[in-house]
Structure 1
Amino acid sequence: MNTLTARRGDVVRPQVPAGQRVYAIGDVHGRLDLLIPLLAHIRDDIAARSIADNHVVLLGDLVDRGPYSAETLEYAISGLPNFATFHILMGNHEEAMLRALDPLEDRSQNLWLKFGGYETLASYGVPVSSLGDEIPPIETLRQYVPERHRLFLDNLPDAMRFGDYVLVHAGIRPGVALEDQNSADMRWIRTEFLEHRGELGAYIVHGHSISTEPDIQTNRIGIDTGAYRSGVLTALGLEGERRWLLRASVVDGEVQTKLSTLG
């Protein structure tokens, strides 16, 4: 399938379907303090544009590393605004958290605590100062983590498609048809995907791999700007063949928002 369906001069660009507008948000990682103002910025951006069928897609990794993972999940479950249709994808950090909550999993092989689980457990009120290197017993986790949070995570999809764009957490495996991609790759892949410069069957919008600025390539764009450590949460707006960026960032202790276009 050739995804390059829109031309401007010599530049060939993918498109979303007519009448739709899509906003993709990079890895939140517990930064609810950035997500809420970014969504307000997106709301205002929608109001300033023509009427459309608006969709907001969070690209996964809502949890871990930042300070407000529990609050971010609760917001995603019951606090999202109604100015658009929201979609939330499964990231590798959600997968690791789910495995920690699964009594049938071999939790001794789960590295969740080493890459953000401590911060998530702290946000649920777990006394992490008493933890060692092992994930707490299932009984302890279920005492602190609401069942509705586990069920919410367990039902997250791996990808969304809008016209020529496929939105996914980590990426896809080159050379494998889109319909044959597996969940592990869509949640975890890095080098093979990032270094590939050929066709991928669609233009891929992803998070997972941190870059200071959005990583714009001919076949993909990465929008994980490392919010948990940089204080910058990035969204990509898509309509027709147009693309633009919206950001919420901490400047001198205050959250500011910014809009910029992409060439």
Structure 2
Amino acid sequence: MLKRLARLLPGAGRATPPATLPAGMRVYAVGDIHGRHDLLQRLRERIHADACAQPAAEMHLIYLGDYIDRGPDSRAVIEQLTEPPPAPLIQTCLMGNHEYALLGFLEAPEAHGGWLRYGGLATLLSYGIGPVDLGTAAALAALAERLHEQLPEHHRRFLRQLDTHRVIGDYLFVHAGIQPGVPLRAQSPLDLMTIKAPFINSTKRHPYRVVHGHHITPEPDIRPNRIGIDTGAYASGRLSCVVLEGEALRIIDTR
């Protein structure tokens, strides 16, 4: 009887349509790079080869943030991303929590000194700054001033102009995730860059299928409501990219 009543209810048994992109469009979305310029170069070559072998009318290349820190060559990564992408790809770069922390350190070094302890020291070394003194507020201020001097203006401009998110079709591209149940227009920019458990643990269907980095997994984490593609490149040597087209997805990586 209950099954019969369920069949009579409006919308009963109707499956949620899968997320999709507009016809003729493809998106390549790349996870956290963290200073691994070698992996970035390798993955860009593979993406470009894929785009040339299987052309689409419109192809987007989206980087999901965390370009710097931890790995050995943050400066080269930023330099690469400031250059035009291989034609015919359309490039978008989003802000991760590590870029946000670097900018915070430049403006208020004592308040954001924690950045140096979770990867920032590697970034300073890539800009020729070291050894460093973290002992006092004056030392942090002097260190921020040195970074101001060593950071090329086009790197500074690139970092300040990063977007927090991008919507294409039924997909939302963002660094960390979203606060479940909160409309996109009301999301905190800090949540978009830093959220953890409330988003990762949620099985709730969001208004968009969320494509994100920030949360390291050994394999791309593909779920009905989200796709996580941070495979810990700085330590694992695996930089991953999800390729979206229509209702389909596939993975390209540096293995």
Cα offsets for 1:102-141 (capped at 9, x unmatched): 1xx36334311011100000000002x2433564523211
Higher helix residue share: 2
Cα offsets for 1:30-74 (capped at 9, x unmatched): 111001111110111112214320100000000110011011111
- Give 1:58's match in structure 2, choosing from 52, 60, 63: 63
In structure 2, the gaps of 5 or more residues are 1-14
Give the aligned partner of residue 185 of structure 1.
191
In structure 1, the gaps of 5 or more residues are 1-9, 250-263
Distance 1:82 1:50, change over 3 A: closer
Question: Normalising by the residue count of structure 1, what TM-score does the alignment of the two structures yield?
Answer: 0.86
Shift of 1:100: 1.1
Give the aligned partner of residue 90 of structure 1.
95
* Local SS of the residue matching 1:107: coil
The answer to which of 219-228 and 42-51 deviates more is 42-51
Distance 1:126 1:222, change over 3 A: same
- Give 2:35's match in structure 1, choosing from 24, 30, 47: 30
1:92 and 1:123 mapped to 2: Cα distance?
Answer: 19
1:107 maps to 2:110? yes
Aligned residues: 237
Higher strand residue share: 1
Cα offsets for 1:144-169 (capped at 9, x unmatched): 11222122111100001110000000
Give the aligned partner of residue 134 of structure 2.
132
The answer to which of 235-244 and 138-147 deviates more is 138-147
CA RMSD of the aligned region, Å?
A: 1.6
Q: 1:5-84, aligned counterparts within 5 Å? A: 12-78=17-83, 80-84=85-89
* Local SS of the residue matching 2:214: coil
* Local SS of the residue matching 2:215: coil
Shift of 1:28: 0.4
Give the aligned partner of residue 261 of structure 1.
none
- Give 1:204's match in structure 2, choosing from 200, 207, 210: 210
